[in-house]
A = this chain, B = another copy of it.
Amino acid sequence: MTLACGIDVGGTKIAGGVVDEDGKVLEEMRVESPASDAAAIEEAIAGLVSELRSRHDIETVGVGAAGYVDKARAVVLFAPNVAWRNEDLKGELEQRVGLPVVIENDANAAAWGEFRYGAAHDAQDLLLVTVGTGVGGGLVLDGEVYRGANGVGAEIGHMRVVPNGILCGCGKHGCFEQYASGSALVREARALALSGAMIAEGMLARAGGELNRITGPLITEAAQAGDAGALQQLAELGRWLGEGIASLTEILDPEVVVIGGGVSEADDLLLEPTRTAFAAQLVGRGFRPIPEIRKARLGNHAGLIGAADLSRR
């Protein structure tokens, strides 16, 4: 059985794992990410691979990274958190580790993971929506990762959903991720609490009265305990999410939509409002198959598993 190493380069950590052909993670390690120093990160990746290889018969390496990756799955055109600009990451890493390497956008890698071994293992087409700090997207179409003409597709977080809306870090106004991300959830909950609204009192009490301690996990916990304010916030997030996914479905017509990212832990407290808003916004109901909206299954291993598996292909 062929083993592959999957690497997931995050903003603060780099995770590496040995993945078998059944998508099982045999061993996993994490190291701190040396911030924005490109060479140091490449060194750290090589170190991870080297150590894992000392104990496993790894044949290929797949790397998932946030940013634009070219269509040849080799060059990082631009990364938001690392100083990679037109970096031949494949070349650099192959030289360091002496194994075949493929580079993939992290959300694409995660989509592939869910497609092969997770929530969409029974589907041919998949839209993965990751709801975390931002909103990421990964697409599998007709059994293949969709990369777009230039390798920069599926950036669904920057579809504009509100003209003149909330300013996004990207410089545009009204991007989807300003309404449907975990950051949006926290921002809105804090704004509600700041406004003195009674319905936010439960969340504020859980946060010891400190606005800054209202976080995504706290909101999810409060909602699970039945807190009305937290439930309302998740429902509002779900509404934006569902309405955005409806637009994406008009365009992409996916077979299955999988919701991942940290906030998906809220499960049906998020997914039910998402499904309701989605169904209400979809054109031609009754005359078309409606994609199912499912929760991701591989958690934060999806990227690593997907990247590893892609390196075998």
Q: Oligomeric state, in number of copies? A: 4
Q: Which residues of B contact A281 (CB under 8 A)?
A: 160, 172
Q: Are A251 and B252 in contact (CB under 8 A)?
A: yes
User: Interface SS of chain A: helix, strand, loop or mixed?
Assistant: loop
Residue from A243, A251, A253, A283 having most chain B Cβ neighbours under 10 A: A251
Q: Is A114 interfacial (CB 8 A cutoff)?
A: no
Q: Please, how many angstroms separate the alpha-carbon atoms of A106 and B286 in the complex? A: 21
Q: Is A201 interfacial (CB 8 A cutoff)?
A: no
Residue from A137, A146, A156, A287 having most chain B Cβ neighbours under 10 A: A287
Knowing A281-B160, A287-B68 are in contact, say whether A171-B191 is a contact too (CB < 8 A): yes
Q: Which residues of B contact A28 (CB under 8 A)?
A: none
Query: Given known contacts A78-B287, A124-B149, A150-B253, what 10 new A-B pairs fall within 8 Å (CB)?
Result: A149-B255, A150-B289, A155-B251, A155-B283, A160-B243, A162-B164, A162-B165, A163-B163, A171-B192, A172-B195
Contacts from A to B (Cβ < 8 Å): 68, 77-78, 85, 123-125, 137, 141, 146-156, 158-167, 170-173, 179, 187, 191-192, 194-197, 243, 246-248, 250-255, 280-281, 283-289, 291
Q: Are A287 and B164 in contact (CB under 8 A)?
A: no
Pick the residue among B68, B125, B171, B291 that contacts A288 (CB under 8 A).
B68
Knowing A187-B167, A195-B171, A288-B78 are in contact, say whether A250-B159 is a contact too (CB < 8 A): yes
Pick the residue among B154, B164, B252 that contacts A148 (CB under 8 A).
B252
Q: Are A163 and B166 in contact (CB under 8 A)?
A: no
A68 to chain B, nearest CB (A): 6
Pick the residue among B141, B151, B195, B247 that contacts A141 (CB under 8 A).
B141
Pick the residue among B170, B252, B287 that contacts A153 (CB under 8 A).
B252
For A68, the closest partner residue in chain B by CB is B288
Q: Which residues of B contact A243 (CB under 8 A)?
A: 160, 163
